[in-house]
């Protein structure tokens, strides 16, 4: 007996129904925000991903050499492909570029709860715009999408941080750029690794002052309001020349972003949390992650500004901000909250047909109703009527239409409402057309039996 590979999922009809629901809500949320959908190949040059994330990422990829001798990989994420697409036509694309995508991605890592080797990811990005309004728009879309699934500010919040502020904070320690990036990678592990492990890593950069830095670090990540954050950054001893002015300018950016989100009535969904640094080196400004407030505190979405990535991968300078949301943790949370609609693929009509002659008559109406958007089915065999009624019940049909020998001889069709068990007889000629007329005029099908 063959089985699916570890970390890969089968989607039976019930699962496909849930997947389609998740896709539908995210797609509509993006469309409401004026985004356009795009797509890219699932197989890309391996170099596209190593250029973005370094050679170490190869161990996490489904990579191989194709028959043409090219090093290729199944995509682990969509952002590099997006950068390539935008970079290729950057001069002709209207700015800002607001694109979204729903894609299947692949990572060769140990399967665990919330993380699989094959997963769908929802991406939305704004490119070609440096204004903080673009950052606010991306954050607002994250919140709007999650709210559209039925989640509230009691269920999730967006934790907001800033790579720029971190760089300014680290400037007070006279660190080089490479050291700053190394420190941010360490900070990204806060809460995931023990204090002793964090201190050991920090000691390779700060030496004996690692403990002192860690204390300041803990204080910084505990701050939850902008005035306290600004005061903390300005209180640094022996501040380098010009740094205070940079801090003032950046805190002004924070004030503008928070004001924008407040004007959208989203302040209850956003929390300042400098503990979020998004360990990937390509982030250049505000970063954010949507987290579950209770339960397992799962990360539902994450993103931020990445102004240099398109230039790095495609040679064209295009600023960008965006986010990604995975389907696995989102689905788990929605199921726990009972926010996924029950699986239901009910039929509008089930035709009960008793013989070949009756079938030739019924098929005209079957096709006509299907062509106009009704969900219609019938038995492929001339089964007994009782068996066909049972099949209609199993398929969740609302109405049964009986095309029996007696009915056809009288040029009639009998309709039964399977919810009320009421029946009514109609003239066969023009019956299907009458149903189409009801649909056009917005008359509910329930009135058929009245």
Query: Quick one: average pLDDT of 160-172?
Result: 93
Same domain, 68 and 94: yes
Same domain, 381 and 395: yes
Torsion from C-alpha of 418, 422, 423, 429, nearest 10 degrees: -70
Distance CA 106, CA 7 (A): 10
Considering the domain architecture, whether residues 72 and 117 belong to the same structural domain is answered as yes
Residues 199, 83 share a domain: no
Pairing status of strand 349-353 against strand 399-403: parallel
Residues contacting 5, CB < 8 A, separation 6+: 117
Question: What letter does residue 94 receive in the DSSP assignment?
Answer: P
pLDDT at 28 exceeding the cut of 70: yes
In a domain, 54, yes or no: yes
| Shared-domain flag, residues 392 and 444 | yes
> Domain check: are 170 and 224 in the same one?
yes
Question: Which has more pLDDT, 337 or 282?
Answer: 337
Q: What pLDDT was estimated at residue 404?
A: 95
Beta carbons of 123 and 101 less than 8 angstroms apart = yes
Determine the structural domain holding residue 58 and report its residue range. 1-130+307-345
User: Where residue 194 sits, what CATH number does that domain have?
Assistant: 3.30.930.10
Please answer whether residues 182 and 336 qualify as being in contact, where contact means their C-beta atoms are separated by less than 8 angstroms: no
pLDDT of residue 193: 87
What is the C-alpha R_g of the chain? 29
- Which of 367, 375, 360 is closest to 408 using CA atoms? 360
Q: Identify the top-confidence range among 173-177, 294-298, 345-349, 423-427.
A: 423-427
Residues contacting 319, CB < 8 A, separation 6+: 127, 128, 129, 130, 305, 307
Residue 428 lies in a domain: yes
For residues 156 and 284, membership in a common domain is answered with: yes
- For residues 237 and 327, state if they share a domain: no
Q: Is residue 146 domain-resident?
A: no
Residue 139 inside a domain? The answer is no
Number of folded domains that form the chain: 3
Same domain, 240 and 320: no
Within this chain, do residues 262 and 328 fall inside the same structural domain, yes or no?
A: no
**CA-to-CA distance for 377 and 366, rounded, in angstroms?**
8
Residue 415 located in a structural domain:
yes
In this structure, is residue 137 part of a structural domain?
no
Residue 109 confidence (pLDDT) above 70: yes
Other residues' Cβ atoms within 10 Å of the Cβ of residue 159: 19
pTM higher than 0.85: yes
**What is the band of 421 on the pLDDT scale with cuts at 50, 70, 90?**
very high
Q: 439 and 395, same structural domain?
A: yes
Q: Is 224 part of any domain?
A: yes
d(CA 59, CA 46): 12
């Amino acid at each position: 007996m063959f089985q699916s590979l570890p970390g890969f999922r089968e989607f039976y009809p019930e699962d496909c129904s849930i997947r389609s629901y998740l896709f539908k809500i995210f797609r509509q949320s993006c469309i409401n925000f004026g985004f356009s959908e795009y797509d890219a190949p699932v197989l890309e040059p391996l170099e596209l991903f190593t250029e973005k994330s370094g050679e170490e990422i190869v161990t996490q990829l489904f990579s191989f050499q194709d028959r043409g001798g090219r090093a290729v990989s199944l995509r682990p994420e969509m952002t590099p492909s997006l950068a390539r697409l935008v970079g290729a036509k950057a001069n002709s694309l209207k700015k800002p570029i607001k694109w979204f995508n729903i894609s299947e991605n692949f990572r060769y890592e140990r399967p665990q709860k919330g993380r699989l080797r094959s997963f769908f990811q929802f991406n939305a990005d704004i490119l070609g715009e440096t204004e903080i309004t673009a950052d606010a728009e991306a954050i607002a879309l994250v919140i709007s999408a999650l709210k559209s699934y039925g989640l509230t500010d009691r269920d999730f919040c967006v934790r907001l941080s800033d790579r720029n502020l971190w760089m300014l904070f680290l400037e007070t320690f006279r660190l080089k750029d490479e050291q700053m990036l190394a420190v941010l990678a360490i900070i990204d592990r806060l809460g995931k690794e023990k204090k002793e492990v964090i201190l050991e890593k920090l000691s390779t950069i700060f030496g004996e002052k690692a403990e002192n830095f860690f204390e300041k670090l803990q204080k910084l990540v505990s701050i939850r309001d902008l005035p306290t954050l600004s005061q903390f950054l300005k209180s640094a001893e022996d501040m380098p020349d010009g740094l205070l002015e940079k801090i003032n300018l950046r805190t002004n950016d924070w004030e503008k972003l928070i004001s924008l989100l407040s004007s959208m009535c989203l302040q209850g969904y956003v929390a300042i949390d400098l503990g979020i640094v998004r360990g990937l080196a390509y982030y250049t400004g505000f970063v954010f992650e949507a987290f579950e407030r209770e339960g397992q505190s799962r990360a539902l979405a994450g993103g931020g500004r990445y102004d240099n990535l398109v230039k790095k991968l495609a040679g064209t300078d295009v600023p960008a901000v965006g986010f990604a949301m995975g389907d696995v943790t989102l689905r788990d949370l929605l199921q726990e909250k009972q926010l996924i609609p029950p699986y239901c693929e009910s039929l509008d009509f089930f035709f009960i047909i008793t013989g070949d002659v009756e079938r030739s008559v019924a098929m005209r109406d079957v096709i006509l109703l299907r062509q106009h958007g009704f969900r219609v089915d019938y038995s492929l065999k001339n089964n007994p009527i009782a068996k066909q009624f049972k099949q209609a019940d199993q398929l969740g049909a609302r109405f049964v239409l009986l095309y029996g020998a007696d009915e056809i001889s009288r040029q009639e069709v009998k309709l039964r409402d399977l919810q009320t068990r009421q029946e009514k007889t109609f003239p066969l000629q023009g019956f299907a057309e009458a149903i189409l007329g009801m649909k056009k005029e917005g008359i509910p099908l329930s009135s058929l039996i009245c």
